[in-house]
């Protein structure tokens, strides 16, 4: 077994060659990047979509594949940030939307489609008696926190280190090391005065903070997503449930990734733990922009009800120009209905991806235990760490390399395998990825390990 430093130096000498191959394969992407830098900061619409030496510019997608501006085809293991659970542009969804497009894309009045969709979601998502739609997961988290504070009349909020709830001020902290302070400039420390963060999978830390502060809500992703696709260990979620009951705080499951992914009813159904409020996004929009919602029991949600609380100062605000627009409602309804009626898709995909995680671990074992897999259902994290991480802090602290994630991403791109990000291997595939696509990922991974360890 090579020392970590020896592997690192092999990677350093491999990188220029991989970058060269990449530039030969993607000249048009390079051109678009140069143009893009003049009008988009960093040449991208969102920093996490940037890859070194430049991002791929995708011009077409279908099923489990995407094609870049040079005509290269990739199997996509990222699927629109985890949105496209039935692949890119599933026909049932695009057909359903086509009809409404000629009747109006956005009425700006109430529409019956939102009501039907809300009814469907109330049947599919556990504990969801009432729901409101938002334009994004970020917004859904923002309104949920406001609602939780209104309901409990408390100010503090607890989030998980490495937990990502979008760019909303109060929750935009403790996402990356050192897991403290604002994650952005322009975000005064004062805004974070009531935000407390604790490590994932740590029940004692949760109890300590709940005992000490009047906490309105604990926000947790049932499976840590952007923090590395790390699964809950032991009875973590159940214990969080009990602790929040005991200390009078609301338990909020941010199911923006896990919702409709782990099961039709998301992490609540998959782990059989009920939250007080659930935050939804991504898949809920049926593949269209404007994907978000939050909901829970009527007694909490009624604090938004203007008929019960006509004075706006006595209720929790929620709204927005595009919320509940017919395109999102019809697309989301069609998709979620299909998912709820085809539960066997989950059994197949969840077992395929857990088999994949086991096989990645086996490969890692054979190659001197330089990597580990994490995740649940169709969420997969692969970590080049000394130990298997149980939380985001360990994802970063146990790393043995500064370059391996980037080198692996580059290597994958060259082999027709695509995911985000180049800093963290986490996959959010669709339920329709085939066994051979799973095998392709595994074969690419194994050949990369051979390249850095044995060649």
Ligand X SMILES: Cc1ncc(COP(=O)(O)O)c(C=O)c1O
Which of 125, 257, 278, 425 binds ligand X (CB under 6 A)? It is 257
Q: How far apart are CA 262 and CA 349, in angstroms?
A: 9
Q: Is the CB of 43 or the CB of 292 nearer to ligand X? A: 292
Q: Is 181 helix (H, G, I), strand (E, B) or coil?
A: coil
Task: In angstroms, give the least distance from the CB of 293 to ligand X.
Answer: 11
Asked if 232 interacts with ligand X (CB under 6 A), we say no
Of 64, 99, 66, nearest to 84 by C-alpha is: 64
* 380 is a contact residue toward ligand X (CB under 6 A): no
Q: Which stretch binds ligand X (CB under 6 A): 90-98, 110-118, 253-261, 297-305?
A: 253-261
Cis peptide before 53 (omega within 30 of 0): yes
Strands 156-160 and 215-220: parallel
- Nearest-CA neighbor of 95 among 287, 264, 284, 283? 287
Does residue 256 belong to the site contacting ligand X (CB under 6 A)? yes
Q: Which is nearer to ligand X, 267 or 326 (CB)?
A: 267
Binding residue for ligand X, selected from 138, 195, 249, 385, defined by CB under 6 A? 138
Q: How far is the CB of 311 from ligand X (least distance, A)?
A: 30
With tokens 């009990």, the residue in question is 242
Handedness of CA 271, 274, 279, 284 (dihedral sign): positive
DSSP secondary structure string for all residues of 280-343? EEGGGGTTSS--EEEEE-HHHHGGG-TTT--SGGGS-----TTTT-HHHHHHHHHHHHHHHH-T
Sites for ligand X among residues 141-160 (CB under 6 A): 141
Contact letters (x/-) for ligand X, 171-210, by CB under 6 A? ----------------------------------------
Q: Which strands form 195-198's sheet, in the order they lie side by side?
A: 130-133, 292-296, 277-281, 250-254, 215-220, 156-160, 195-198
Contact 356, 143 (CB under 8 A): no
- Asked if residue 226 binds ligand X (CB under 6 A), the reply is yes
Residue 278 sits in the site that holds ligand X (CB under 6 A): no
**Minimum distance between the CB of residue 70 and ligand X, rounded to whole angstroms?**
28
Question: 107 to 136, contacts with ligand X by CB under 6 A?
Answer: 136
Interactions with ligand X, residue window 42-101 (CB under 6 A): 81
Q: From residue 387, how far is each of 63, 234, 236, 398 by CA, in Å? A: 35, 18, 20, 6
According to the binding rule CB under 6 A, does residue 393 interact with ligand X?
no
Nearer to ligand X, 1 or 289 (CB): 289
Q: Which of 137, 264, 267, 429 is the binder for ligand X (CB under 6 A)?
A: 137
**Cα–Cα separations (whole angstroms), residue 41 to 38, 136, 208:** 8, 22, 42
* C-alpha 408, offset from chain centre: 21
Of 32 and 237, the one with the shorter C-beta distance to ligand X is 237
- Residues between 280 and 339 that touch ligand X (CB under 6 A): 281, 292
Compute the least distance from the CB of residue 410 to ligand X, in Å.
Answer: 23
Q: How many residues bind ligand X (CB under 6 A)?
A: 16
Q: Which residue is nearest to ligand X (CB)?
A: 137
Query: In the sheet that 58-62 helps form, which strands lie side by side, from edge to edge?
Result: 58-62, 65-68, 73-76, 417-418
- Per-residue interface string for the shown chain with ligand X, residues 159-178, x marking contact by CB under 6 A: -----xxx------------
Q: Could you tell me the smallest distance in angstroms from the CB atom of residue 175 to ligand X? A: 11
Give the integer Cα–Cα distance in Å for 53 and 1: 31
Write down the residue that tokens 């929009």 correspond to. 285
**What is the binding site for ligand X (CB under 6 A)?**
81, 136-138, 141, 164-166, 221, 225-226, 254, 256-257, 281, 292
């Amino acid at each position: 077994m090579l020392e970590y430093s020896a592997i690192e130096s092999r990677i350093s000498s491999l990188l220029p060659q991989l970058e060269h191959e990449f530039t030969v394969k993607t000249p048009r992407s390079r051109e678009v990047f140069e143009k893009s830098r003049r009008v988009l900061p960093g040449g991208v619409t969102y920093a996490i979509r940037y890859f070194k030496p430049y991002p791929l510019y995708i011009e077409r997608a279908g099923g489990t594949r995407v094609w870049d501006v040079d005509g290269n085809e990739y199997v996509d293991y990222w699927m629109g940030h985890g949105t496209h659970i039935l692949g890119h542009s599933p026909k049932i969804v695009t057909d359903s939307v086509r009809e409404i497009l000629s009747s109006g894309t956005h009425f700006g009045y109430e529409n019956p489609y939102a009501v039907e969709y809300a009814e469907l979601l109330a049947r599919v998502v556990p504990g969801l008696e009432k729901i409101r739609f938002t334009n994004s997961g970020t917004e859904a988290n923002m309104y949920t926190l406001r609602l939780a504070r209104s309901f409990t009349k408390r100010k503090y909020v607890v989030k998980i280190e490495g937990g990502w709830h979008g760019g909303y001020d109060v929750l935009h902290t403790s996402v990356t090391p050192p897991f403290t302070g604002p994650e952005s400039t322009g975000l005064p420390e004062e805004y974070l005065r009531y935000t407390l963060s604790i490590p994932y999978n740590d029940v004692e830390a949760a109890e300590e903070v709940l005992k000490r502060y009047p906490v309105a809500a604990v926000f947790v992703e049932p499976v840590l997503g952007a923090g590395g696709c790390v699964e809950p260990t032991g009875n973590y979620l159940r214990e969080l449930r009990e602790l929040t009951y005991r200390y009078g705080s609301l338990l909020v499951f941010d199911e923006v990734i896990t919702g409709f992914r782990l099961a039709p009813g998301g992490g609540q159904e998959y782990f059989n733990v009920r939250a007080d409020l659930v935050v939804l996004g991504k898949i809920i929009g049926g593949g269209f922009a404007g994907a978000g919602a939050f909901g829970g029991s009527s007694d909490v949600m009624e604090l938004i009800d203007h008929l019960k609380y006509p004075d706006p100062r006595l209720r929790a605000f929620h709204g927005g120009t595009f919320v509940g627009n017919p395109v999102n409602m019809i697309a989301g309804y069609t998709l979620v209905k299909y998912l709820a009626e085809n539960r066997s898709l989950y059994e197949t995909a969840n077992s395929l991806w857990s088999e994949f995680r086991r096989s990645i671990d086996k490969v890692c074992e054979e190659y001197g235990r330089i990597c580990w897999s994490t995740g649940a259902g169709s969420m997969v994290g692969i970590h080049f760490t000394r130990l298997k991480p149980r939380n985001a802090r360990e994802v970063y602290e146990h790393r043995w390399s500064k370059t391996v994630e980037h080198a692996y991403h580059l290597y994958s791109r060259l082999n027709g395998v695509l995911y985000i990000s180049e800093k963290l291997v986490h996959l959010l595939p669709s339920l329709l990825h085939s066994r051979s696509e799973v095998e392709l990922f595994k074969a690419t991974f194994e050949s990369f390990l051979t390249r850095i360890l044995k060649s």
